[in-house]
């Protein structure tokens, strides 16, 4: 029997140096989906800067754990959930209460995108199509029915606010953003809300850097030009998805003449960790970025019980749907097949006795029988779905029969 499993490595159970080992780009995720689909019924992979989650519909989770271990011995860092616990974990993630910045909006879009990729690669089926649509619905409800989104902040926004604490007058602060992906664009949106000094946008692709730089009134540069601008900026945000460090210790140490704030939002990290040893540098990475005020944190925490109430409601509804699918679908299919067999048997008996009939007449008779069995079966099928939600009978069999066949007792 298949079960829903969620296997996750995240910011709660693994340090940054472990998380960056499993930082996958979309191409790697697609390849992994196809590898895992060979041995599992359905697969969805969610990769963010703070987690790599693999959801499978399968008999066990051992093959997924083995797949994770290609990146090293990661068993101690993996959280493995099954069935209701795995479903609740996904719903909580979509709601934003599993995030480092509670209530962040970005995770819901990341889950939606992960689901779309899995659908495009044909690694989902009816169970995960229902599961992930429900998760996205949970995320929308939580943000629409609670205030958790009002006080939430993405990692990019947290980083930007940390920078504002250091520099009071941003109009005199020169900045550089490395990368042109989602994280870098979020940082640029934060910067765009304020009057700042010079802004540089760095990318491997000069034309892509130019597009974003023009959008935010900045200057485009390529990675090879970053070192030439180190003494012209006060802050550098690292938001690139490259697998190699963009700034290395020796290159910076030899040329840096002023103080510099480095905020590394990359996974893998964009900046050499040894840069912290340079006196003029303050380096913050993902593990350093925490909530910047207790008040904001407490407001988000106060909204969690409301969010959990919504999650509980949606969890019960999905479990009921899952039970109906598991328990009722085979029964309904068998019932329909019996009715179809009866219909074909009666057609075989009746048509020869009706003499010469045209094709349209035969189709009309067959359609008539189909309409009759559909109407006769409507109530039994509806009740099969209702009773499939329960693990055991909860009323006298006679009452069940009355409901199944919509029988009103005579007086």
pLDDT digits (tens, 9 = 90+) for 287-316: 887 644 455 677 788 899 999 999 999 999
- Report how far residue 90's alpha carbon sits from residue 111's, in angstroms, rounded to the nearest whole number: 9
pLDDT score for 101: 75
Is-contact 84 315, C-beta < 8 A? yes
Q: Which residue has the higher pLDDT, 384 or 206?
A: 206
Q: Which residue has the higher pLDDT, 217 or 244?
A: 217
CA distances, 15 to each of 11, 12, 20, 25 (Å)? 6, 8, 9, 20
Alpha helices, H only, 150-194? 155-166, 182-192
Instruction: Judge whether residue 234 has pLDDT over 50.
Output: yes
CB-side exposure of 373: number of CA atoms within 13 Å?
A: 16
335-339, 352-356, 380-384 — most confident range: 352-356
Task: Report, at the CATH architecture level, how domain 3-152 is classified.
Answer: 2-Layer Sandwich (3.30)
Res. 378 pLDDT band, cuts 50 70 90: confident
Query: CB neighbours (10 Å) of residue 402?
Result: 15
Instruction: Judge whether residue 105 has pLDDT over 90.
Output: no
At residue 173, φ and ψ (nearest 5 deg) are -105, 125
Of 173, 181, 149, nearest to 265 by C-alpha is 181
Instruction: Judge whether residue 411 has pLDDT over 50.
Output: no
Q: Which residue has the higher pLDDT, 357 or 226?
A: 226
Displacement of CA 169 from its chain's centroid (Å): 37
Domain positions in the chain are 3-152, 155-289, 319-404
Displacement of CA 226 from its chain's centroid (Å): 34
CA distances, 392 to each of 88, 296, 319, 331, 387 (Å)? 24, 47, 15, 16, 9
- Report how far residue 149's alpha carbon sits from residue 2's, in angstroms, rounded to the nearest whole number: 36
pLDDT score for 90: 97
Say which range, 2-16, 146-160, 212-226, 346-360, has the weakest mean pLDDT. 146-160
Q: Which CATH superfamily, name and number, covers 155-289?
A: NAD(P)-binding Rossmann-like Domain (3.40.50.720)
Displacement of CA 380 from its chain's centroid (Å): 38
Query: pTM, whole model, 2 decimals?
Result: 0.64
Is-contact 106 239, C-beta < 8 A? no
Give Cβ neighbours of residue 8 (< 8 Å, ≥ 6 apart).
51, 52, 53, 54, 78, 79, 81, 89
- Report how far residue 232's alpha carbon sits from residue 174's, in angstroms, rounded to the nearest whole number: 7
Is-contact 11 57, C-beta < 8 A? no
pLDDT score for 293: 46
pLDDT score for 155: 76
Instruction: Judge whether residue 385 has pLDDT over 80.
Output: no
Domain 3-152 and domain 155-289 have a common topology? no
pLDDT score for 121: 96
Is-contact 146 310, C-beta < 8 A? yes
- Report how far residue 286's alpha carbon sits from residue 23's, in angstroms, rounded to the nearest whole number: 13
Averaged pLDDT, 311-326: 88
pLDDT score for 410: 42
**Over the stretch 53-63, which tens digit does the pLDDT of each residue have?**
999 999 999 99
Edge to edge, the sheet with strand 281-284 lists 219-222, 199-203, 175-178, 235-238, 260-264, 281-284
Averaged pLDDT, 355-363: 86
């Amino acid at each position: 029997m298949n079960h829903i499993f969620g296997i996750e490595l995240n910011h709660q159970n693994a340090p940054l140096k472990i998380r960056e080992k499993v930082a996958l780009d979309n191409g790697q995720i697609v390849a992994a989906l196809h590898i895992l689909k060979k041995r599992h019924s359905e697969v969805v992979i969610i990769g963010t800067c703070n987690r790599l989650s693999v959801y499978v519909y399968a008999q066990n989770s051992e093959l997924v754990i083995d797949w994770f271990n290609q990146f090293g011995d990661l068993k101690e860092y993996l959280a493995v959930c099954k069935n209701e616990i795995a479903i609740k974990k996904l719903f909580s993630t979509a709601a934003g209460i599993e995030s480092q910045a509670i209530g962040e909006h970005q995770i819901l879009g990341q889950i939606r995108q992960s689901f779309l990729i899995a659908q495009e690669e044909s690694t989902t089926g009816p169970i995960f199509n229902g599961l992930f649509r429900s998760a996205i619905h949970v995320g929308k409800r939580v943000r629409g029915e609670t205030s958790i989104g009002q006080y939430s902040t993405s990692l990019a926004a947290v980083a930007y606010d940390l920078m504002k604490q250091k520099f009071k007058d941003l109009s005199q602060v020169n900045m550089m953003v490395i990368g042109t992906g989602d994280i870098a664009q979020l940082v640029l949106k934060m910067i765009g809300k304020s009057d700042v000094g010079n802004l540089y946008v760095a990318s491997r692709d000069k034309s892509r850097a130019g597009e974003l730089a023009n959008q935010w009134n900045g200057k485009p540069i390529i990675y090879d030009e970053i070192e030439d601008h180190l003494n012209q900026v006060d802050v550098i945000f690292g938001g690139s998805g490259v697998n190699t460090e963009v700034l290395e210790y020796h290159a910076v140490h030899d040329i840096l003449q002023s103080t510099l704030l480095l905020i590394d939002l990359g996974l893998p990290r964009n900046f050499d960790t040894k840069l912290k040893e340079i006196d003029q540098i303050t380096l913050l990475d993902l593990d350093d970025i925490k909530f910047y005020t207790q008040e904001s944190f407490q407001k988000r925490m106060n909204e969690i019980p409301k969010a959990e109430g919504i999650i509980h409601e949606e969890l019960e509804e999905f479990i009921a749907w899952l039970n109906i699918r598991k328990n009722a679908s085979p029964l309904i299919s068998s019932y329909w097949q019996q009715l179809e067999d009866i219909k074909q048997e009666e057609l075989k008996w009746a048509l020869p006795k009706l003499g010469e009939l045209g094709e349209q007449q035969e189709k009309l008779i067959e359609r008539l029988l189909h309409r009759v069995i559909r109407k006769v079966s409507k109530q039994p099928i509806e009740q099969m779905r209702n009773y499939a939600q329960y693990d055991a009978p909860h009323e006298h069999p006679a009452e069940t029969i009355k409901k199944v066949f919509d029988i009103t007792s005579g007086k």
